[in-house]
Amino acid sequence: MAARVAIRVKPGASRTRVGGAHGDALVVAVSARAVDGAATAAALEAVATALGVRPRHVRLVMGATSRDKVVEVDGLDPDEVARLVTLLKDPTV
């Protein structure tokens, strides 16, 4: 079973970081620039690392050319993904 996660990609950051919220989306800052899909690929890898799954278990569903994207995560229970995303959005929860 897969879970979908809305993310907001911030390309060109000084370092890669997953955390914080932009509306309902999880913020993913990546050092890669938004050229030829480099920022998207880096964001998918960063999400996989943050959620503790292999990169092949995270795939883009919507938003290939947008900063707002939806990714699908395999390898974890959807409730577990939701809990982890909530913690990443607000670590004080």
Each residue of 34-92: pLDDT tens digit? Answer: 999 999 999 999 999 999 999 999 999 999 999 999 999 998 888 999 999 999 888 76
Asked: is 3-89 a CATH 3.30.1200.10 domain? The reply is: yes
Q: Looking at the whole model, is its pTM more than 0.85?
A: yes
Break the chain into its structural domains and give their ranges. Answer: 3-89
Structure tokens at 72: 């699908």
Q: How far apart are CA 19 and CA 23, in angstroms?
A: 13
Q: How far apart are CA 31 and CA 10, in angstroms?
A: 8
